[in-house]
């Protein structure tokens, strides 16, 4: 059946089977692969998106249920040119290791700060109870949420990825297509 | 995990939902927040041919407290209950349960009516709503009927809700001295054991008590022996409360799993009943 989803502010019409989960509609039909499938059993929160502005686990919502409603995915939270303060804070506070849980963590944390702009560490931990991280423990994730809260309360401007980590242009002209770039030292060492 | 295929229809009103239920019979299931039903469908423990989505029906969502009575629409989400100052004041036991249930994303989606109609033996509301002596309003083809919580929760995933009925609201008298305390499973957040207590206090002692326990048997139950033993007890007298709450799960066949044995569950029923009494006495 045809459904009407407004995803990251853009209205789209897609044809789905009723049993298609929202997470699969986002990833497979709309190519928004920032939302991850982790446990697939409503426990881990890797698939968290905002539905009408509140955090939900998109592995436990049928796409048809979201028809006529607004979905915000991690792609709608911020972009490489304009990172959400939460994205910047996860980066600068080292709130991730492998990154698998990160997008869900960020969406949940954004929802948490909407309800409670200045949470205590205990409130941050309780607010992220629906998101599991298997890498690092939660210490730096809590620090990141705290830092993002401070930045948002202070009204700090958003930054781009390039501002935070400038990507330098290549110093050597790329060779014609098909040829490898061989570093100078390696060329000299060639026998 | 992909559920079995089904047809999806949206009901626009209670009457529309009842008409769709009558049309599709036993093949249909009502879908509210879906946080009990969808996981079961993904595991193929449930495979309804038709899902009737009732989430958009107006007037089934909300909390009203007036004249000492609290009425809650069946589609009210856990998050709304958890954020309600009225509930915190008039029924702290239910407020406790809503706040301690699942996680934020689950609370944003699941509903009190859906969770109740599911009849999970480890769910929180069945104990709380029995302690509150809540009345459930069930809409059916021939009109509505009312049923008390103690008669609603019948067994494991079994309630008194008929196949062609819709739970529309839950109501109870305000119970300011009430509390719910649970030993929550660290992974599932369900209750390994949960105890709900409603007290009527008079001159520093318990004049009357209602105590209900979940997580132990096939369904939550009222602990009648504990209720009568608590009469006349000073709720701040820990020794007397401990004596009165002993054997809270007596006569109930306790379940066992890898997390908790039957005897441990029964022992925890006593401990959590005593904690809930102390918490209920200090509420307000």
How far, in Å, CA of B71 to CA of B169, rounded? 7
Q: pLDDT-derived band of residue B187, with 50, 70 and 90 as boundaries?
A: confident
In this structure, are residues B213 and B194 in contact, taking their beta carbons and an 8 Å threshold? yes
For residue A182, name the pLDDT band (cuts at 50, 70, 90): confident
- B42-76 as b/e: b if 16+ CB within 10 A: beeebebebbbbbbebeebbebebeeeebbbbbbb
B187 CB within 8 Å of a chain A CB: yes
Q: pLDDT-derived band of residue A183, with 50, 70 and 90 as boundaries?
A: confident
Nearest CB among A17, A127, A129 relative to B5 is that of A17
**Three-point CA angle B225, B231, B235, nearest 5°:** 110
Q: What is the pLDDT at residue A165?
A: 85
Closest C-alpha to B149, from B93, B87, B206? B93
CATH 3.30.390.50 placement within chain B = 178-282
CA distance B154 to B171: 19
Name the DSSP class of B197.
Answer: E
Domains of chain A in start order, with CATH, are 2-77 (3.10.20.30), 85-164 (1.10.150.120)
How much is the average pLDDT of B137-165? 96
Class of domain B7-53 (CATH, top level): alpha beta
Cα-based distances in Å from A173 to A169, A177, A180, B24, B57: 10, 12, 12, 69, 64
We find that the CATH architecture of domain B58-173 is 2-Layer Sandwich (3.30)
**Mean pLDDT, range A20-25, rounded to an integer:** 98
Tens of pLDDT, residues B76-89 = 999 999 999 999 99
* Contact residues, chain B, for A54 at CB < 8 Å: 79, 108
Chain segment A47-84, per-residue pLDDT in tens: 999 999 999 999 999 999 999 999 999 999 999 999 99
- Read off the pLDDT of each residue in B148-158 and give the average, rounded to a whole number: 96
Neighbours of A190 (CB within 10 A): 7
**Judging by beta carbons within 10 Å of its beta carbon (0-12, 13-18, 19+), is residue A77 exposed, middle or buried?**
buried
Return residue ranges of chain B for CATH 3.30.43.10. Answer: 7-53
Please give the pLDDT value at position A181: 75
3 state DSSP class of B140: strand
Residue A191 has pLDDT above 70, yes or no: no
Report pLDDT digits (tens) over B244-266. Answer: 999 999 999 999 999 999 999 99
> Which chain A residue shows the shortest CA-CA distance from B50?
A18
Give me the pLDDT at residue A190, please. 65
Structure tokens given for B146? 């009312």
Q: How do residues A137-181 score in pLDDT, each as one tens digit?
A: 799 999 999 999 999 999 999 999 999 887 777 677 767 777 777
Average pLDDT value over all residues in chain B: 96
Q: What is the pTM assigned to this prediction?
A: 0.92
To the nearest whole Å, the CA of B30 is away from the closest chain A CA by: 13
pLDDT over 90 percentage in chain A = 84
Residue A23, pLDDT > 90, answer: yes
What does the pLDDT read at residue A47?
98
At B13, list the tokens: 């009103």
Closest CA to B82 of B109, B53, B114: B109
Cα separation, B270 vs A42, in Å, equals 31
CA distance B176 to B275: 16
Does pLDDT of B284 surpass 70? no
Which DSSP string corresponds to A96-150?
A: -SS-TTHHHHHHHHHHHHHH-SS--HHHHHHHTTT---SSS-SHHHHHHHHHHHH
What pLDDT is recorded for position A167? 75
Q: Which of A40, A39, A12, A38 is nearest to A26 (CA)?
A: A12
Q: How confident is the model at residue B237 (pLDDT cuts 50, 70, 90)?
A: very high
pLDDT at A180 (0 to 100): 77
Residues of chain A neighbouring B79 (CB-CB closer than 8 A)? 54
C-beta atoms of B105 and A17 within 8 A: no
Residues of chain A contacting B51 with CB distance shorter than 8 Å:
18, 62
User: Per the CATH hierarchy, to which homologous superfamily does domain B178-282 belong?
Assistant: CO dehydrogenase flavoprotein, C-terminal domain (3.30.390.50)
- Cβ contact A8:A72 at 8 Å: yes
User: From CA B245, how far away is CA B227, in angstroms rounded?
Assistant: 8
CA B276 to chain centroid, in Å, comes to 16
Rounded Cα distance between B178 and B86, Å, is: 14
Delimit the CATH 3.30.465.10 region(s) of chain B: 58-173
Work out the average pLDDT over B11-40.
Answer: 96
Torsion of CA A25, A28, A34, A37, to 10 degrees: 80
Q: Is B186 on the interface with A (CB under 8 A)?
A: no
Residue A26 DSSP label: I
- To which residue do tokens 């009190």 refer? B112
Q: How far is A13 from chain B (nearest CA, A)?
A: 17
> Residue B184: is its pLDDT beyond 70?
yes
- Token match 């009648």: residue? B224
């Amino acid at each position: 059946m045809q459904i009407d989803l407004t995803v990251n502010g853009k209205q789209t019409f897609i044809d789905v089977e009723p049993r298609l989960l929202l997470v699969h509609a986002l990833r497979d039909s709309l190519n928004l692969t920032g939302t991850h499938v982790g446990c697939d059993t409503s426990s881990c929160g890797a698939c968290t998106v905002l539905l009408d502005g509140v955090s939900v686990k998109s592995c436990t919502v049928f796409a048809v249920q979201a028809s006529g409603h607004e979905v915000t995915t991690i792609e709608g939270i911020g972009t490489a040119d304009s990172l959400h303060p939460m994205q910047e804070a996860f980066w600068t506070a080292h709130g991730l290791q492998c990154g698998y849980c990160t997008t869900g963590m960020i969406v949940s944390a954004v929802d948490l700060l909407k309800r409670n702009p200045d949470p205590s560490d205990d409130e941050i931990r309780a607010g992220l109870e629906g998101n599991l991280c298997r890498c690092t423990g939660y210490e730096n994730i809590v620090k990141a949420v705290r830092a993002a809260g401070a930045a948002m309360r202070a009204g700090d401007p958003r930054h781009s990825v390039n501002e935070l980590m400038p990507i330098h242009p290549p110093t050597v002209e790329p060779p014609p297509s098909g040829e490898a770039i061989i570093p100078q030292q390696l060329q000299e060492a060639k026998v | 995990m992909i559920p079995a295929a089904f047809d999806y229809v949206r009901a626009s009103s209670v009457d529309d939902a009842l008409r769709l239920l009558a049309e599709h019979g036993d093949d249909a299931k009502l879908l509210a927040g879906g946080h009990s039903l969808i996981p079961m469908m993904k595991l193929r423990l449930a495979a309804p041919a038709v899902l009737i989505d009732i989430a958009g029906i107006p007037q089934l969502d909300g909390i009203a407290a007036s004249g000492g009575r609290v009425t809650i629409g069946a589609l009210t989400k856990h998050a709304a209950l958890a954020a309600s100052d009225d509930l915190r004041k008039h029924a702290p036991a239910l407020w406790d349960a809503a706040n301690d249930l699942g996680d934020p994303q689950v609370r944003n989606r699941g509903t009190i009516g859906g969770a109740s109609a599911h009849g999970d033996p480890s769910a929180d509301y069945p104990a709380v709503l029995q302690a509150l002596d809540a009345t459930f309003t069930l809409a059916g083809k021939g009109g509505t009927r009312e049923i008390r919580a103690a008669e609603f929760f019948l067994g494991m995933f079994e309630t008194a809700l008929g196949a062609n009925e819709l739970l529309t609201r839950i109501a109870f008298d305000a119970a300011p001295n009430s509390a719910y305390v649970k030993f929550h499973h660290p992974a599932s957040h369900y209750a390994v054991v949960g105890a709900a207590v409603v007290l009527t206090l008079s001159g520093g002692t318990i004049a009357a008590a209602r105590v209900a326990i979940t997580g132990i048997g096939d369904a939550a139950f009222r602990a009648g022996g504990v209720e009568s033993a608590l009469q006349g007890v000073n709720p701040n007298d820990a020794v007397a409360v401990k004596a009165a709450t002993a054997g809270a799960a007596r006569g109930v066949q306790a379940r066992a799993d890898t997390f908790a044995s039957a005897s441990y569950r029964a022992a925890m029923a006593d401990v959590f009943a005593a904690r809930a009494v102390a918490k209920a006495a200090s509420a307000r």
